Structure 1
Amino acid sequence: MIEATGLTKRYGAKTAVYNLSFQVRSGAVTGFLGPNGSGKSTTMRMILGLDDPSAGRVTIGGQPYRQLTNAPRRVGALLDAKAVHGGRSARQHLLCLAQLSGIPARRVDEVLGVVGLQDVASRRSKGFSLGMGQRLGIAGALLGDPEVLLFDEPVNGLDPEGILWVRNLMRKLASEGRTVFVSSHLMSEMALTADHLIVIGRGQLLADMSVKDFIARNSTAHATVRTPDDAGMREKLSKALSEAGGLVQPEQDGALRVTGLELPRISDLAHEIDVRLWELSPHQASLEEAYMRMTSGAVDYRSTQDPRQGLQQPAPHPQQGYQQAGYPPQGQYPQGGYPPAGYQQQAPAGWGQPPVQQAPQQQYAQPPAQPYAQPYGQQPAGPPPQPYAATTAAPAQPPVAPVAPVAPAPPAAPAAPPVVPPTAPSLNKSDSEDAR
């Protein structure tokens, strides 16, 4: 059993844990909940003797952790799955822990099989994924077959199969009479795994009770009532339920949310006023709803709405593909919703060039918009082609002069003939004599 009495921890001017008292009983899975920065990790470090409390004390089986005989065989813990030498394999890491605690080497292969890492036992841990690192950390906690186990976020990085495995492992360990203390932010997992809850906020105790009692005390049950799609029947039933002392709130899907009346009473009232019911179901709040309601005043980090939300970049032009930042939002351009001709001069080199011709029979279609005052390129003659698609057509006819056409690029200069270096003239015998 773990027992904390008046536990307090200060770091300079900041108080991480203040006057915290609780008990973690054996034979059950105790969930340790709280918002980020509430002091959960600090509390678990003080339980394991890694941090000294500023006031109060915490004991395991009546003794502080540092006074336990052969503590690794009595207490197993996973606080940081990354606390592994990356150059060591999984087997070497566990073998080091076993030798330091006097645990037989054969236990290493046993726990590797328990956590499912027997096939990668010889691989270096620096190549492990987050989930594999979590499994290795759990193996280290189970190495000494301890009676007390502490886990900080044990399912972080695990896939659904791994989460189910951890859930079953926790419950199996608790059924053997061990003390299991688990910190997690996954409310859905705590609802399925934990038997008891300890909830803290800003370093102080908020709740110490069973999961069932925690949900009942921090939530309000209500009934969902649905009538035929007739506004008259809904209003008639709402009036009767309100007069009977119930709180009626309409839902967006047409149902009624009724609080303060039991289901049999709602059914009797509907029968008395001759209103048919299509649905009458109870709703019990989840652990997440109850947790959010209790800790709403103890959250230090709250998100706000992004002030730039909705100010995304305008859609690119269908032909030119403009993506340069700084254009005004689409719809503010004077012509058809696209940038005017002046933007073409501001674009980087190569952006304003016409598309490369794919084949003699290929021609680019123009978007179904009104004619541009300053078109981006040569417009083909004839009927407008299909929007935003390349079409195969007969050889293009001579184009009709468009409005303000863009001058075509000057033709490339013909390649210059290769320069042949001069060679020395060949001299016969007579020429050589004259040359002398």
Structure 2
Amino acid sequence: MIEAVGLTKRYGDKTAVYNLSFQVRPGSVTGFLGPNGSGKSTTMRMILGLDNPTSGQVTIGGHPYRRLPNAPRQVGALLDAKAVHGGRSARNHLLSLAQLSGIPARRVDEVLGVVGLQDVAKKRSKGFSLGMGQRLGIAAALLGDPQVLLFDEPVNGLDPEGILWVRNLMKALAAEGRTVFVSSHLMSEMALTADHLIVIGRGQLLADMSVTDFISANSADFARVRTPDTEPQLREKLGAALTGAGGHVLPEQDGALRVTGLPLPRISDLAHEAGVRLWELSPHQASLEEAYMRMTQGAVDYRSTSDQKAGLQQPLPPGAEPPVPVPGQGQPGWYAPPPPQQGGQPFAMPAGGPGAPAGPYGGAPAGAYGAPGAPAGPGAPAVNPYAQPAPQAPAAPPAPATAPAATPDASSPAADTNQPEDAR
């Protein structure tokens, strides 16, 4: 098991990881998610003893990595598939690693077969494609038959067959009782592979829960209802009936109705009582990607700017830009931690964050869709065509946040002044 307690890493006045605590348990695949620059790679480097934490500690099986006897036989890792001498063949690369750890040479041929590189074992790795390099890195991680495995973007560069192979490999390793910790940006693949998720943003823990609970806590589920397109009056009649029963209705562009606040059987009963025929009545649950985007929306550091059409479109003067709405802001489950860059000053979880009471479909509370003045979901205000909306006062633009100047932490090791990719 991997356990981090109060893990913090600073590079001068830049805090890459702040007060991070979590556990990675054996027997399941744990996904490690977060935007670019959130501190994932820094965390993995600290787990493997490549970087020293500024404060806190992380252990594997109760011991720091550097104190593990014959660590390669207990922990396998893939952090950088390019960390291979290009002049060596695949077999010689693995053979050198095996000799350093006292692993029999026959194990080299075994892992080459596991990753499918047995036919190119004598070829120099500098001629390998990105996907072949990934397979070689996975082979190196499996070389000591370890009980703890860490993979950073293991499917990068793999074709669909290779992605399926990695997925099945991760599940098989976890089924054997091993601890499997996987970092990836492919949400669709994590949804199929991971059993548990650890999500961080700007160096802080955002979520530590199962995939099912994560999706439920960070999505606004709804029922989709459709009436005959040739009879628009039936849609209006049904909308009024649903609103009168306490539901919240939002019309969609294709003519269907998005309903929250009522369970599907109740919607069906109301339609039957109103004499309305239904062409569709289906539940909708957000995907892992939608839930992840909702959770991490406020923790993204790198955003593209709009194209200025090669100078033909003049940008707005400073201070004239309208405030940009943040999808999901103000709804339960939305959490945007401020960047812990000013000397790692602590900050608290705002009220209404993850763990707030959810509505009937597990996501936004009653009123999240269609209620006057409530947000309708990512990027659009809610409008209830069947209720009289209350007047809204214009919102003042947010004031720029200020923070005191930071001072470098004297305990930061001089050897760690070069920032890794996640700390930039």
TM-score with structure 2 setting the length: 0.73
Alignment of 1:252-291 (within 5 A): 252-291=253-292
**Which residue does the alignment assign to 1:250?**
251
**Offset at 1:304?**
2.5
Secondary structure of 1:80's counterpart equals coil
The answer on 1:232 being equivalent to 2:228 is no
**Which residue does the alignment assign to 1:167?**
167
Q: Which amino acid aligns with 1:259?
A: T
Separation (CA, whole Å) in 1 of partners of 2:128 and 2:188: 27
Alignment of 1:205-244 (within 5 A): 205-229=205-229, 230-244=231-245
Separation (CA, whole Å) in 2 of partners of 1:150 and 1:50: 14
Residue-by-residue CA offset, 1:205-263 (whole Å, 9 max, x unaligned): 00001111111111111011010012111111111111111111111111111111110
Secondary structure of 1:249's counterpart equals strand
The answer on 1:120 being equivalent to 2:116 is no
Q: Which amino acid aligns with 1:64?
A: P
Secondary structure of 2:151's counterpart equals strand
RMSD of aligned alpha carbons = 1.3
The answer on 1:30 being equivalent to 2:30 is yes
Separation (CA, whole Å) in 1 of partners of 2:167 and 2:248: 39
Separation (CA, whole Å) in 2 of partners of 1:214 and 1:292: 12
**Which residue does the alignment assign to 1:57?**
57
**Offset at 1:310?**
12
Secondary structure of 1:154's counterpart equals coil
Q: Which amino acid aligns with 1:37?
A: G
Structure 1 stretches of at least 4 aligned residues deviating more than 6 Å after TM superposition: none
Q: Which amino acid aligns with 1:263?
A: L
Residue-by-residue CA offset, 1:31-83 (whole Å, 9 max, x unaligned): 00000000000000000000000000000000000000000000000000000
Q: Which amino acid aligns with 1:277?
A: L
Q: Which amino acid aligns with 2:271?
A: A
Secondary structure of 1:158's counterpart equals coil
Separation (CA, whole Å) in 2 of partners of 1:24 and 1:94: 27
**Which residue does the alignment assign to 2:180?**
180
Q: Check 1:103–1:209 CA distance in 2 against 1; reply closer, same or farther (3 A cut).
A: same
Q: Which amino acid aligns with 1:298?
A: A
Q: Which amino acid aligns with 2:213?
A: D
Separation (CA, whole Å) in 1 of partners of 2:159 and 2:192: 17
Alignment of 1:3-42 (within 5 A): 3-42=3-42
Residue-by-residue CA offset, 1:132-182 (whole Å, 9 max, x unaligned): 000000000000000000000000000000000000000000000000000
- Greater relative contact order structure (CA < 8 Å, 6+ sep): 2
Separation (CA, whole Å) in 2 of partners of 1:266 and 1:307: 47
**Offset at 1:88?**
0.4
Separation (CA, whole Å) in 2 of partners of 1:80 and 1:156: 11
Secondary structure of 1:18's counterpart equals strand
**Offset at 1:305?**
2.3
Q: Which amino acid aligns with 1:219?
A: S
**Which residue does the alignment assign to 2:190?**
190
Larger radius of gyration: 1
Alignment of 1:86-125 (within 5 A): 86-125=86-125
Separation (CA, whole Å) in 1 of partners of 2:131 and 2:206: 31
Q: Check 1:36–1:254 CA distance in 2 against 1; reply closer, same or farther (3 A cut).
A: same
Separation (CA, whole Å) in 2 of partners of 1:232 and 1:310: 50
**Offset at 1:309?**
7.7
Q: Check 1:309–1:195 CA distance in 2 against 1; reply closer, same or farther (3 A cut).
A: farther
Separation (CA, whole Å) in 2 of partners of 1:310 and 1:246: 49
Separation (CA, whole Å) in 2 of partners of 1:239 and 1:310: 50
Q: Which amino acid aligns with 2:280?
A: E
Q: Which amino acid aligns with 2:254?
A: D
Residue-by-residue CA offset, 1:276-313 (whole Å, 9 max, x unaligned): 001000011111111111101100011232121898xx
**Which residue does the alignment assign to 2:419?**
none
Separation (CA, whole Å) in 2 of partners of 1:29 and 1:144: 19
Alignment of 1:67-78 (within 5 A): 67-78=67-78
Separation (CA, whole Å) in 2 of partners of 1:89 and 1:39: 33
Residue-by-residue CA offset, 1:16-38 (whole Å, 9 max, x unaligned): 00000000000010000000000
Separation (CA, whole Å) in 2 of partners of 1:241 and 1:310: 51
Separation (CA, whole Å) in 1 of partners of 2:311 and 2:15: 41
Q: Which amino acid aligns with 1:255?
A: A
In structure 2, runs of 5+ residues without a counterpart are: 313-424
Alignment of 1:329-368 (within 5 A): none
Residue-by-residue CA offset, 1:93-121 (whole Å, 9 max, x unaligned): 00000000000001101000000000011
Separation (CA, whole Å) in 1 of partners of 2:50 and 2:34: 21
Separation (CA, whole Å) in 2 of partners of 1:104 and 1:288: 43
Separation (CA, whole Å) in 1 of partners of 2:110 and 2:311: 55
- How many pairs are equivalent? 312
Secondary structure of 1:81's counterpart equals coil
Secondary structure of 1:275's counterpart equals coil
Q: Which amino acid aligns with 1:242?
A: T
Residue-by-residue CA offset, 1:172-201 (whole Å, 9 max, x unaligned): 000000000000001111111001000000
Secondary structure of 2:309's counterpart equals coil
Separation (CA, whole Å) in 2 of partners of 1:257 and 1:159: 37
Separation (CA, whole Å) in 1 of partners of 2:253 and 2:311: 26
**Which residue does the alignment assign to 2:303?**
302
Alignment of 1:361-376 (within 5 A): none
Separation (CA, whole Å) in 2 of partners of 1:154 and 1:242: 48
**Which residue does the alignment assign to 2:353?**
none
Identity of aligned residues (%): 85
The answer on 1:292 being equivalent to 2:293 is yes
Secondary structure of 1:168's counterpart equals helix
**Which residue does the alignment assign to 1:392?**
none
Larger displacement relative to structure 2 (111-120 or 240-249): 240-249
Q: Which amino acid aligns with 1:107?
A: R
Secondary structure of 2:104's counterpart equals coil
Q: Check 1:293–1:143 CA distance in 2 against 1; reply closer, same or farther (3 A cut).
A: same
Separation (CA, whole Å) in 1 of partners of 2:129 and 2:13: 38
